[in-house]
Structure 1
Amino acid sequence: MKIPAFKSMVLFENDDYVVVNKPPFIASLDERNAPGDLNMLRLARQYSPDAQVCHRLDKETSGCLLIAKTPDAYRSASMQFERRKVTKNYHAIVNGHVIFTDLLVDLPILNAGNKNVSIDRKEGKRAETIFNSLTYFKHYTLVNCQPITGRMHQIRIHLATQKASICGDELYKGKPVFLSAIKRGFRLAKGEEEQPIMKRFALHARSLVFKGMDESEILVEAPYPKDFAVLLSLLEKYDS
């Protein structure tokens, strides 16, 4: 996979912070099972030597990633995340026609390590997400997801509890979208195996609101990457 230049990912930058539009398939930080792989932290430190990634996005998730350029900026951002002062909005394309209007899902999540995440009302930590449907298709829905807390896989598992798994998120029973399922008369060439329209789960960190070191509010929005935009356009064309 070709890694884009870090500068081309930048959505916002000042003396203290840089917000990038993280491409899919690049980890935010070092991974245990792939310690030598390129990740956003390493790329950021080539750009700004003292860079620190302020929060994580799953490897397959694209979108807004906040990076601090100084230790003081990192401390400030960390406190904002801890106190739930950062507003994060994600867009997900989910299986099914689902109607969410300010739906608050308040289900505790247990992270047992090694990406083993489950809903556990006894041992889990509090996890809250607000969901709103944005665009309806016949068989799919574009949903805005606002996590109040920041648990691992929170949006993914909370959507799964609502029978609205993210397209392509096989870990939580999300089915990928194939063109043959939405385009009438679609035919594959002989001997060809159909690939899903999007080769990852359809989750994008759409926007981020936080405070700069001067206490001014900073709002950053990340355009959809190509795969997410293509899936949406095909749903609009063939599944509306």
Structure 2
Amino acid sequence: MTEPESRLNATVPVELAGRRFDQALAELFPDYSRSRLTAWIKDGAALLDGESVAPRRIVHGGEAVALSVRMEREIGAEPEAIALDIVHEDADVIVVNKPPGLVVHPGAGNPAGTLQNALLHHDPKLAEIPRGGIVHRLDKDTSGLMVIARSMRAHTSLVEQLSARDVHRQYAAIVYGAMVAGGRVDAPLGRHPHDRLKQAVREDGREAVTHYRVRERFRTMTLVECRLETGRTHQIRVHMAHVRHPLVGDSQYGGLLKLPKGAGPELVAALRGFRRQALHAERLEFLHPASGETVAFEAALPPDMQALLAALRVDTREHAA
């Protein structure tokens, strides 16, 4: 479905003389990504002095630019009335607190009932934004904060910030083992050589860096704070398993449930009832696409992680007595 065109006009300023047309266009219309602007140039939707020219055409300053903006429906997902925990929203962004168990995108095995379906019901215009405004993701069973682009300006800005590592993401995780201190994991990640659904530390993988520190130590487990320097698939889960402190509840990277020796009935019940990786995106910080000011949002630990921490505290006190 194609929406009606809107026509934008501008004049190439003298200071852009000597630049390529696609570069000048990116300066004149920063709300749109360079790849989208280049595609519009090639399609004849961006004219220089009334003519269709190549993206590499050199500009001299003073030329008239006419851009026909044609926004198309980017995705095929349908709106669904699924409740959203909205932490913040304005004309450019929506920040949501995703619950565990909610898939972000429709896909094989999850054709509907996803965060994307819920967002399209909340704001149908998101269908005009690439990927429905979703610029990063959380695993199905990871809870916490995500930012969604509500405008092309926001989409371009957030994608650039993520690429430049200017979006700061902080997670809370409960891991096996009583960790002594925090640290830094610098281990490249790539697809697992034998299981395409998993990631693995590989020498030929993409750079991946995670910083972690101890927040609360228990008898057999630790609450850690993780900060992402890069944002690879399953990064925290793989990195913590790599340093031999896999996430509690993470059957994919941590193996079968491990019940601590001497654990009381309360802790045993909490661990057996915890059926996801104990990972929560608790803080999100980025430059607002409209104001350019730093904005930060926080989401408290969900009830299941709070209940597990309460049981761990009781267990630790009982064994210290």
Larger Rg: 2
Given the superposition, is the C-alpha separation of residues 235 and 76 from structure 1 closer, same or farther in structure 2, using an over 3 Å criterion?
A: same
1:233 aligns with: 310
Distance in 1 between residues matched to 2:159 and 2:277, nearest whole Å: 27
Asked if structure 2 preserves the Cα contact closer than 8 Å seen for 1:92 and 1:202, the reply is yes
Answering whether residue 312 of structure 2 is matched by residue 216 of structure 1, we say no
Cα root mean square deviation, aligned: 2.4
How many angstroms does 1:176 deviate by? Answer: 3.8
Distance in 2 between residues matched to 1:186 and 1:204, nearest whole Å: 20
Given the superposition, is the C-alpha separation of residues 226 and 210 from structure 1 closer, same or farther in structure 2, using an over 3 Å criterion?
A: same
Asked if structure 1 preserves the Cα contact closer than 8 Å seen for 2:266 and 2:311, the reply is no
For 1:238, give the aligned amino acid: D
Asked if structure 1 preserves the Cα contact closer than 8 Å seen for 2:87 and 2:97, the reply is yes
Distance in 1 between residues matched to 2:244 and 2:271, nearest whole Å: 24
Answering whether residue 187 of structure 2 is matched by residue 107 of structure 1, we say yes
How many angstroms does 1:37 deviate by? Answer: 2.4
For 1:85, give the aligned amino acid: D
1:116 aligns with: 198
For 1:232, give the aligned amino acid: L
Unaligned runs of 5+ in 1: 189-193
Distance in 2 between residues matched to 1:67 and 1:178, nearest whole Å: 39
SS of the residue 1:58 aligns to: coil
SS of the residue 1:73 aligns to: helix
* 1:46-195 map, 5 Å: 46-51=121-126, 52-101=133-182, 103-111=183-191, 114-121=196-203, 123-176=204-257, 182-183=263-264
1:191 aligns with: none
SS of the residue 2:118 aligns to: helix
For 2:190, give the aligned amino acid: L
Given the superposition, is the C-alpha separation of residues 69 and 154 from structure 1 closer, same or farther in structure 2, using an over 3 Å criterion?
A: same
How many angstroms does 1:50 deviate by? Answer: 3.1
Asked if structure 2 preserves the Cα contact closer than 8 Å seen for 1:179 and 1:197, the reply is no
Q: 1:10 aligns with which of 66, 80, 86?
A: 86
Distance in 1 between residues matched to 2:276 and 2:181, nearest whole Å: 23
Given the superposition, is the C-alpha separation of residues 181 and 228 from structure 1 closer, same or farther in structure 2, using an over 3 Å criterion?
A: farther
Given the superposition, is the C-alpha separation of residues 181 and 27 from structure 1 closer, same or farther in structure 2, using an over 3 Å criterion?
A: farther
Distance in 2 between residues matched to 1:10 and 1:175, nearest whole Å: 34
Given the superposition, is the C-alpha separation of residues 186 and 12 from structure 1 closer, same or farther in structure 2, using an over 3 Å criterion?
A: closer
1:197 aligns with: 273
Given the superposition, is the C-alpha separation of residues 54 and 181 from structure 1 closer, same or farther in structure 2, using an over 3 Å criterion?
A: farther
* 1:14-33 map, 5 Å: 14-33=90-109
Report the TM-score when normalising by structure 2: 0.66
Unaligned runs of 5+ in 2: 1-80, 127-132
Instruction: After superposition, give the CA deviation of every residue in 1:215-236 in whole Å (9 maximum; x if it has no partner).
Output: 1111000111111111111111
For 1:12, give the aligned amino acid: H
Instruction: After superposition, give the CA deviation of every residue in 1:125-148 in whole Å (9 maximum; x if it has no partner).
Output: 110000101000000100011111
Q: How many residues align?
A: 228
Asked if structure 2 preserves the Cα contact closer than 8 Å seen for 1:160 and 1:172, the reply is yes
Given the superposition, is the C-alpha separation of residues 177 and 140 from structure 1 closer, same or farther in structure 2, using an over 3 Å criterion?
A: same
For 2:233, give the aligned amino acid: M
Asked if structure 2 preserves the Cα contact closer than 8 Å seen for 1:197 and 1:231, the reply is no
Distance in 1 between residues matched to 2:265 and 2:302, nearest whole Å: 26
Bigger helix fraction = 2
Distance in 2 between residues matched to 1:58 and 1:186, nearest whole Å: 26
For 1:151, give the aligned amino acid: R
Percent identity reads 30
Report the TM-score when normalising by structure 1: 0.87
Instruction: After superposition, give the CA deviation of every residue in 1:145-197 in whole Å (9 maximum; x if it has no partner).
Output: 11111111110010001110000111112554769963269999xxxxx9713
Distance in 2 between residues matched to 1:110 and 1:46, nearest whole Å: 35
